[in-house]
Structure 1
Amino acid sequence: MHALIIGATGATGSQLLTKLLADPAISHVTSFVRKDADATHPKLTTHVIDFNDVASWQEKVVGDVLFCCLGTTKRAAGSQQAQWKIDHDYPLAFAKAAKNHGVPTLALISSDGADARSPLFYYRMKGALDDKILALGFKNTLIFRPPLLKRPNSDRLGENLAEKAIAFANRFGLLKSAKPMAVADLAQAMLLAVKRQENGIIDKNQIRKLLAN
């Protein structure tokens, strides 16, 4: 299986890249990045690209599965508009290129609470992308909606505060379904689901079931 990945330098993407390279069922991995990550492996091909210049990379989006792990925060991006471009526009452009080149499977990291009609920007953005990805009609579309993610050495203040609050509630048996998930676990679930040819929206409970089986 030839895996394509965007977002391989991020918290979940880097974990997934490691798992892809170690899995004997994956014959080759092609990663698309904005700047050289210095990752080397006999199975790995890395393309340093300008995500805005679709014509320069779209012909390279050829394989068996596209993993979309690209994402940022408003703080890191600088504005909601910039975050929308990274979290919504870039993955959608890659998905369209993959569809045009006959890639049969797409696996996307979305978010618990994603809803195109949400009054909250982040969930609205994620929901809008989910709807457009589903409408492309891949043979297999896997949209993962995990709970809050535990990222090693995270500098995301909001996530860190939320993680501590949920962990405190969990001690009293509260908010069990919202228990944060390690990015390594999400990456493992993504690989398992693709290999098992799962399809559709995979929520936080289904992700945990994948890991338990």
Structure 2
Amino acid sequence: MKEIQKTALLVGATGLTGGKLLELLLKDDRYDKVKLFSRSSVGFTHDKLEEYLVDLFKVETYKSDFTGDEVFCCIGTTKKKTPDNETYKKIDYGIPVSMAKLTHENSISTFIVISALGANSKSNVFYNKVKGEMEDDILLQNLKHTYILQPSLIGGERSEKRTGEWLFKKAMKVLGLIMIGSLKKYRTIEPITIAKAMVWLANNKFKEVKIESDKIKNIVA
């Protein structure tokens, strides 16, 4: 009997990890359709691909198109790219939470989102606090399957130049060699590793909801 094919919904496909995830979903025979919800086009076509260029701050207006089996949320920004705290929170908190609410309203069972290691709604660090609040409010949706990935520093080459980040990544590669035991979760993680873990989680059962960086690697291994 032929396996029932699914529709994946992907938010943030133009980003580093989102782009890797899109490649995997398009090659995966378990999916016959991949719906993209983005602010800009990925710049190519594919038989499986449906692109919706939308205002991600008003996702509720696209409710009728937001249908499928699994939602993958890879949206996010940086303080350098978005220095204004209010705008930053609208992106890193507002968009994922709105997507989770829409997932609930449209009875989609699975929601997988990228957060960050150290996320904590009670943190005094703005970045960690925003990520923590995002996690808390996504969990309030009580979806059947929710997975929150908490990667450490994400490796890979970005399209825009970030000299400071590039130097930090180089340093982390060296430090990673001595990060053992409980420190292993702080090692740099590659975008493809996160993407592979997201696809695996969508198609397998996993007991944990919040998954730290070292466990993301273990899933793929």
TM-score (norm 2): 0.90
Q: Paired residue for 1:205?
A: 214
Q: Which whole-Å CA distance do the structure 1 matches of 2:11 and 2:88 have between them?
A: 16
Indicate the SS of the match to 1:202: strand
**Shift, 1:172, TM fit:** 4.3
Deviations 1:111-169 (A, max 9, x none): 01110011111111111000111110010000001111002246334432332222222
Q: Is contact 1:4–1:30 with CA below 8 Å preserved after alignment?
A: yes
Cα deviation, residue 57, structure 1? 1.1
Is 1:21 paired with 2:30?
A: no
- Quick one: distance in 1 between partners of 2:112 and 2:164? 26
Where does residue 12 of structure 2 map in the other structure?
7
**Counterpart residue identity of residue 113, structure 1:** G
Q: Paired residue for 1:102?
A: 107
Q: Which amino acid aligns with 1:208?
A: K
Give me the whole-angstrom Cα distance separating, in 2, the residues matched to 1:196 and 1:171: 31
2:190 corresponds to 1:185: no
SS in 2 for 1:46: strand
Deviation at 1:26, TM superposition (A): 1.1
Structure 1 stretch displaced more, 144-153 or 107-116: 144-153
Does the CA contact (< 8 Å) of 2:17 and 2:74 recur in 1? yes
Structure 1 residues 100 and 153, CA, compared in 2 at 3 Å: closer, same or farther? closer
Question: Helix, strand or coil: the match of 2:50?
Answer: strand
Instruction: Please say if 1:138 is aligned against 2:143.
Output: yes
Identity, % of aligned positions:
33
In 2: Cα distance, 1:146 partner to 1:173 partner: 15
Aligned residue pair count = 212
User: Who is 1:33 aligned against?
Assistant: 38
User: Any gaps of 5 or more consecutive residues in structure 1?
Assistant: none
2:81 matched to 1:76?
yes
1:127 equivalent in structure 2: 132
- Structure 2 distance, partners of 1:27, 1:115, is 37
Q: Which residue is 2:169 aligned to?
A: 163
Q: CA deviation at 1:75?
A: 1.8
Kept after mapping to 2: 8 A contact 1:61/1:94: no
Q: Distance in 1 between matches of 2:105 and 2:185?
A: 38
Q: Using structure 1 for the length normalisation, give the TM-score.
A: 0.93
- Bigger shift: 155-164 or 99-108? 155-164
RMSD: 1.7
